[in-house]
Structure 1
């Protein structure tokens, strides 16, 4: 099991303060509802008495950096989180009631306290004190602190926009969903937990401090909101440097580390193109990596972040995965800005976040599209020859065409930062969105594609050219293999795209694929190396060891941790001292990463599987059981624990775990599938078939469930029913090799040579190096 299931610390449920809504949506920092506050004891910028060593607080920084502090006080960073007080609460608490799909809330005051009356964890109405505000514009959420240290976000938020914009109202964050207390999205559930989901990016120098033994949090921070040291790191050494108690020659002016500085950039515009003639080199660990810490969809495995290091030293970014991103890489789910920006030609040319956004206020360096005019010739790009629209107040601008927006959390409009050329022609082929029909909602993608061809000719331009490869890969189309290999092995391809291509290639085994994956192990970008290490899963262990052991000394922790995961079966005692020490250190890093996330079922599941592969059955069982206590509705944990019981001959306990999981979540397919396999081992075929059928019905897109169900039908003599299931499953997964193999066998048994030739030709495309398939194809010609 990959380390990657820890991804998800940035779900949409609590994302208002991840501040990744590309500051383009922020019109005036704090908005006109509150004046910028001043620094003061116990207030904004104040150092808490639980701050880690080395932190001094933004109020201290203000003594020498008054200009930067003044700008920061107007930013959303400074107000990402605050204690619930009259000067920070923007919502209407004048005994306001709101209802939503069977739930309700009443917001009122109890003297100085802000209160809510709503359903609690047991579904019964109770009264709770609101302890903290969360975010400021365009909405503000509210947190309730529980005795076990958990801070939970309420499902009702306040729209802080003006009345003219539709704001100044309470609303539910999931308007189309009824969320019962058993759901992880319920406000007291795991997905609404501030300590894990949000705290790192809403506070400074956060230490989660989860105690697994008591299942309690003692979460602490140096500042309640996002202060200077969130980006610059602890400033005690710098303060000593300014006071002369540290040598004037101390590196980084006393800071332990700093973000790498880009060399001076030349953005001189080429009159012929209207674009800058030159780019700039991008040093490793530059300011973009600092921003990425909170402006990326990622999981955390270490709290020891410092500026100047790659994000993968402490966090694991997701790939451009299906469900999170469109096939062409545009944002789909709430993924924030980093992944989009790193796909852009601007990033490739050396542009940083600070070129467009003033880093302390987070405001644009020029209003609206004027910010683009810093580097691009405005007159050329506002012309009708470029846009196809008559210039004027209602004409589309750079942002509307090259940064199409999506709205999250009901009211939060965010712009895609990949700065792509609109490609409605790709929408026709791939089903992706495009900026043209986002505006012309009554028109088709083909209409828009034809219009652009009329304006600019038949040749389509654009830096982002990977949509077709990822679209085909998601369909399992073998035609994707060569395109993915080109993406994975071309240095000029953005690293996030190379990493995604490597991850996708695992579904297309071949000699050429294997060569590309081996090459990726030496890629200069750590995320690509991580993807390549993950791709080694399933290889014979001796090959895995030979390929991955050299990466035990990789300079990036994220790589070493994934190597440890892939080599978990290796007994340390069998290794020579140097290899033993390196692998032991990596094992410790992996285990520490999972224990940091011991408050999550995913973390417990990861660690349990890791321990089981190392032969620690008792330790694995303890982790699986602890994980189920954290989230009884987490099907993967139940299946893992059941497999452990089966492995140790405890079939009855395995069934009990699976039946309890089904009882908790009747619509979870995986426990039913696993229960069916247990029943088959007991030769209780009728019961097993019923569970296999139900798993298939609950998850019809799961090709594996369909395959096993079809095999079971075939084994029980229901051949035609089996063929029907195979055909339906191939309609959803037309390139699944296992289903195609079943279809081939069925065609051969029935004497349908034409069908057999068709199927074997598809298998040969999927497995071009399989000699047995090649031999069969030759026989059928």
Structure 2
């Protein structure tokens, strides 16, 4: 009896060892997703912070085929800061992605990467996309282009805009939809319709400041500049801490040749929202136009401190440093740009 018991014991031990080995082998693959997740997160952070090698890892992630739609869209949000033939190839490929979300994200990448006329050739085909949201996104991306830049897609674009307007009109109780409808009407010069849409927005959301700025634009188009200025002044009295309105006032004054006064509004907007790159960039340009070069450079330096990946600000600061002959600073910025993206067109063109 001893012998059979020994064999039984050995068999039990062997079974336990085999089970342990199987379990260990079974759990190994679960490590891979964590590694993949880390590489994606690290690449996104690297690109967002403008760190060395950012373009390379961003392109590597976009070349993957196993990313979720939302992760792919997040990568596209960073891509315009890293232009190159490879970046354009990746964005163009995702215009054909099976996910509408990714196609819309790729549209925004193309807008950031490609000049106006070339943009039409890439985005025009999406005006016939089977997904309505993608057609509308493509139309929005082409709205600001001239008829010549729209080229062969002028007709299809008008058809999608008409479709977009009909869709927005079905949502009279949606302030955002009515605001977008007003924008379309303003673009097309249909001022009475734009006025009606803006009145709906104001009725739904009395403090909607975007509607206020759209109303200012409408008054301008009607030739009522004084009324536009008065409306801005009245709204600023009611909302003195609105960076959006302060910036709008600065832009309005710039458009009317009052650059010195415009600086007050633009600077106040930056003070209220120091992380808003658009506000700070606009202030830098206005300062430069008034030949306040050092102040303009400081604004761009501060912008890059907050957003190192902001290529637009970096290129402008390089230009401003060149104008003042501070070539050492130029070399530092160029070296940083090359570390981030050695294939940047600015480097290839000898900026």
Class of the TM-score when normalised by the shorter of the 2 chains: 0.7 to 0.9
Q: Could you tell me which residue of structure 1 aligns to residue 225 of structure 2?
A: 651
CA shift for structure 1 position 518 = 0.8
Alignment of 1:743-758 (within 5 A): 743-758=317-332
For residue 314 of structure 2, the aligned residue among 740, 743, 754 is 740
Q: Could you tell me which residue of structure 2 aligns to residue 473 of structure 1?
A: 47
Q: Could you tell me which residue of structure 1 aligns to residue 125 of structure 2?
A: 550
Aligned to 1:725, the other structure's residue is in SS state helix
CA shift for structure 1 position 604 = 2.1
Q: Deviations over 1:50-79 (max 9, x none)?
A: xxxxxxxxxxxxxxxxxxxxxxxxxxxxxx
CA shift for structure 1 position 520 = 0.4
Q: Give the length in aligned residue pairs.
A: 326
Distance 2:237 2:50 in 1: 34
Q: Deviations over 1:396-446 (max 9, x none)?
A: xxxxxxxxxxxxxxxxxxxxxxxx75xxxxxxxxxxxxxxxxxxxxxxxxx
Alignment of 1:606-685 (within 5 A): 606-685=180-259
CA shift for structure 1 position 490 = 1.9
Q: Could you tell me which residue of structure 1 aligns to residue 176 of structure 2?
A: 602
Contact between 1:633 and 1:665, CA under 8 Å: does it hold in 2?
no
Root mean square deviation of aligned Cα? 3.8
Q: Could you tell me which residue of structure 1 aligns to residue 345 of structure 2?
A: 770
Distance 1:543 1:772 in 2: 21
Matched, 1:705 2:287: no
Distance 2:151 2:262 in 1: 44
Contact between 1:487 and 1:497, CA under 8 Å: does it hold in 2?
no
Distance 1:514 1:648 in 2: 41
CA shift for structure 1 position 620 = 2.9
Contact between 1:632 and 1:664, CA under 8 Å: does it hold in 2?
no
Matched, 1:693 2:249: no
Q: Deviations over 1:576-612 (max 9, x none)?
A: 9x995x6566445423443344433322222222333
Matched, 1:271 2:20: no
Distance 1:746 1:563 in 2: 34
Distance 1:757 1:645 in 2: 47
Distance 1:670 1:692 in 2: 10
Distance 1:276 1:756 in 2: 50
Distance 1:746 1:549 in 2: 36
CA shift for structure 1 position 494 = 1.9
Aligned to 2:111, the other structure's residue is in SS state coil
Going from structure 1 to structure 2, the CA distance change for 1:520 and 1:692 (only over 3 Å counts) comes to same
Aligned to 2:65, the other structure's residue is in SS state coil
Distance 1:656 1:639 in 2: 12
Q: Could you tell me which residue of structure 1 aligns to residue 77 of structure 2?
A: 503
Alignment of 1:265-344 (within 5 A): 271-274=23-26
Distance 1:531 1:709 in 2: 29
Distance 1:745 1:566 in 2: 28
Aligned to 1:465, the other structure's residue is in SS state helix
Q: Could you tell me which residue of structure 1 aligns to residue 106 of structure 2?
A: 532
CA shift for structure 1 position 749 = 4.5
Going from structure 1 to structure 2, the CA distance change for 1:666 and 1:619 (only over 3 Å counts) comes to same
Distance 2:89 2:194 in 1: 35
Which protein has the bigger strand share? 1
Going from structure 1 to structure 2, the CA distance change for 1:604 and 1:535 (only over 3 Å counts) comes to farther
Distance 1:549 1:722 in 2: 38
User: Relative CO higher for 1 or 2, CA cutoff 8 Å, sep ≥ 6?
Assistant: 2
Q: Could you tell me which residue of structure 1 aligns to residue 96 of structure 2?
A: 522
Distance 1:728 1:484 in 2: 25
Q: Could you tell me which residue of structure 2 aligns to residue 559 of structure 1?
A: 134
Structure 2: runs of 5 or more not aligned: 1-21
For residue 490 of structure 1, the aligned residue among 54, 64, 71 is 64
Distance 1:466 1:674 in 2: 38
Distance 1:555 1:681 in 2: 40
Q: Deviations over 1:728-781 (max 9, x none)?
A: 3332123333433443344335443321211233455569443577424xxxxx
Going from structure 1 to structure 2, the CA distance change for 1:641 and 1:481 (only over 3 Å counts) comes to farther
CA shift for structure 1 position 696 = 1.1
TM-score calculated relative to the size of structure 1 = 0.37
Going from structure 1 to structure 2, the CA distance change for 1:575 and 1:515 (only over 3 Å counts) comes to closer
CA shift for structure 1 position 694 = 0.5
CA shift for structure 1 position 677 = 2.4
Distance 1:767 1:610 in 2: 40
Going from structure 1 to structure 2, the CA distance change for 1:733 and 1:615 (only over 3 Å counts) comes to same
Going from structure 1 to structure 2, the CA distance change for 1:469 and 1:666 (only over 3 Å counts) comes to farther
Which protein has the bigger helix share? 2
Distance 2:212 2:54 in 1: 35
Alignment of 1:417-496 (within 5 A): 421=34, 461-463=35-37, 465-477=39-51, 479-496=53-70
CA shift for structure 1 position 467 = 1.0
Alignment of 1:103-142 (within 5 A): none
Distance 2:347 2:28 in 1: 56
Q: Deviations over 1:301-333 (max 9, x none)?
A: xxxxxxxxxxxxxxxxxxxxxxxxxxxxxxxxx
CA shift for structure 1 position 698 = 0.7
